[in-house]
Chain A
């Protein structure tokens, strides 16, 4: 669901000069097929046939993000936005170039990744929180806040497989926004839940901005990004084609 544009708060981000993320000449090539058996490998080696077609998901991308900035990544499907985010989170390693970070990074790459259906909500909060880098003390301290934010108190000891998709997303988002990292990666997750919850999420994002957190946000909600971000980068076929003012970036993407 798309958040209503009037609900989206104006950016509270205060950019500074301290560099937090440096992406230098990063390229990443994907092969189109990943499932192969040993038999296929042997045969293709014998026949000297190429195993799989490849394509460039990222092609010599340069990007620097400074503390306090909220940088939006926009582009059409397959332009490399999520891949770029994953090289920053450490899930993917670039084939060439390098990525450097300062401070702790937490990614909301996919809401609910790391949730296990057979565990209760409570167990999942702890597991997912720990995966996102929280310590036991932090989790115990913030547990009540996390549950309160998700508004699913009465179901917290139910196994997650019985949750509705809305409840699931609420809890997952709630864990993620309470991790309090220095660099926050957000991938297409601001459209979860119903309208009141979305509003709450956007408020939370604004709070994080005001607290000086650095954010990189991927989304197709162009109006929303235009309001939230201090800067927007447009990607096309793995290359950066625009980097600068949000309004101009959105216009640049629409013009292409």
Chain B
């Protein structure tokens, strides 16, 4: 492995090539990061007529299909007031998760021309993917806020705290996973297919389409119920529900009305539920991902003399 200069040598100004600020790199290299994000956005929409409009079209279609299938045909909107808002606040979470995770996984292999020729802190690529995903997330968030307002929701401090907690947990957790898979993907391309699989499963294994009390009723008391609850995505989706749906007037009125079944709309541990567990898991995964990326540096830099990057 790399040997960094001793403290005495560092005092004389010595450093090892590729010795950098570690996880602080993205903050120190803001200018470069900014340019990488712009590059990604330019390249992604080259030759595209609709351009950024696609980041509205995709979630809109997704929403319509789910609303029709789950809300209308499976009648989920009957027991859930403002089901459209409930559904969409979950969809934006899994979409952001999917895009950050998927893009980050491909970020290093996609930039292999750079990685194998010029030294750059490797974390910058997954970080750039995350920022690109956030650019796509903003319009969706805007639509969500407008939709929630139309459904009798008003901004509140509770909503703001839940939203910020949810975003932090989601981004830290997904970046941790993404850095790890980005590094692994450089060695084994199988990883990106595996990641697509996880993203697909994520929509169904967190309370996006259905309500969490339905899950509790079927698997309560088993270890699976605990695992389901501890899934960071479950925690984040629930935080988003608290932020945009739980305290909107239809839901509050329904609970106040005392109609049988309406008590299940409120969650145990309200308002922020297991946020601390989500935060712990997210930070642990981030640390692991960061370590993994460092450890796999060698694999990130494909051989140069023979083989080389494809």
Q: Do A and B bind each other?
A: yes
Please list the residues of chain A having a beta carbon within 8 angstroms of any beta carbon in chain B.
22, 30-38, 41, 57, 78, 82-83, 86-94, 97-103, 105, 107, 109-110, 113-114, 116, 118-119, 123, 126-127, 130-132, 135-136
Q: Tell me if A107 and B301 are in contact (CB < 8 A).
A: no
The interface residues of chain B lying within 8 Å CB-to-CB of A38 are 188, 190
Please list the residues of chain B having a beta carbon within 8 angstroms of any beta carbon in chain A.
1-5, 9, 12-19, 31-32, 35-36, 38-39, 42-43, 46, 113-120, 188-190, 297-298, 301-308, 310
Q: Tell me if A130 and B32 are in contact (CB < 8 A).
A: yes
CA distance A37 to B185 in the complex (A): 11
10 contacts between A and B (CB under 8 A): A31-B303, A34-B303, A35-B310, A37-B190, A82-B304, A88-B17, A90-B17, A99-B16, A102-B12, A116-B43
CB-nearest residue of chain B to A109 = B117
* Given A102-B12, A105-B17, 5 additional A-B pairs, CB 8 A: A30-B304, A90-B17, A91-B117, A92-B301, A131-B32
Least CB distance from A77 to B in Å reads: 9
The interface residues of chain B lying within 8 Å CB-to-CB of A92 are 301, 304
Main secondary structure of the interface of B (DSSP, over half): loop
CB-nearest residue of chain A to B119 = A90
Least CB distance from B119 to A in Å reads: 4
CB-CB under 8 A for A118 and B2, given A89-B17, A131-B118: no
CA distance A123 to B3 in the complex (A): 36
CA distance A114 to B114 in the complex (A): 5
Q: Tell me if A131 and B120 are in contact (CB < 8 A).
A: yes
Least CB distance from B61 to A in Å reads: 27
Q: Tell me if B46 and A118 are in contact (CB < 8 A).
A: yes
A34, A87, A94, A107: most-surrounded residue (chain B CB, <10 A): A34
The interface residues of chain A lying within 8 Å CB-to-CB of B39 are 116, 119, 123, 127
Q: Which of A41, A87, A91 contacts B116 (CB 8 A)?
A: A91
CB-nearest residue of chain B to A33 = B307
CB-CB under 8 A for A113 and B113, given A37-B190, A89-B118: yes
Q: Tell me if A93 and B43 are in contact (CB < 8 A).
A: no
Least CB distance from A83 to B in Å reads: 6
Q: Which of B14, B190, B298, B307 contacts A102 (CB 8 A)?
A: B14
The interface residues of chain A lying within 8 Å CB-to-CB of B16 are 90, 98-101
Q: Tell me if A90 and B117 are in contact (CB < 8 A).
A: no
CB-CB under 8 A for A87 and B118, given A123-B39, A127-B36: no
CB-nearest residue of chain B to A102 = B13
Q: Tell me if A123 and B42 are in contact (CB < 8 A).
A: yes
The interface residues of chain A lying within 8 Å CB-to-CB of B113 are 113-114
CA distance A88 to B119 in the complex (A): 10
CA distance A116 to B43 in the complex (A): 9
Least CB distance from B224 to A in Å reads: 28
The interface residues of chain A lying within 8 Å CB-to-CB of B297 are 93
Least CB distance from A95 to B in Å reads: 9
The interface residues of chain B lying within 8 Å CB-to-CB of A33 are 307
Q: Tell me if B42 and A132 are in contact (CB < 8 A).
A: no
The interface residues of chain A lying within 8 Å CB-to-CB of B3 are 97-98
Q: Tell me if B18 and A136 are in contact (CB < 8 A).
A: no
The interface residues of chain B lying within 8 Å CB-to-CB of A91 are 18, 115-119, 301, 304
CA distance A83 to B1 in the complex (A): 16
CA distance A95 to B91 in the complex (A): 46
Q: Tell me if A57 and B117 are in contact (CB < 8 A).
A: no
B31, B298, B302: most-surrounded residue (chain A CB, <10 A): B31
CA distance A38 to B3 in the complex (A): 30
CB-nearest residue of chain B to A53 = B306
Instruction: Sort A-B residue pairs by CB-CB distance and give the 9 closest, nearest first.
Output: A90-B18, A90-B17, A90-B119, A113-B117, A98-B3, A34-B307, A130-B32, A100-B14, A102-B13
Q: Tell me if B2 and A98 are in contact (CB < 8 A).
A: yes
CB-CB under 8 A for A114 and B117, given A38-B190, A98-B2: yes
CB-CB under 8 A for A118 and B42, given A37-B188, A90-B18: yes
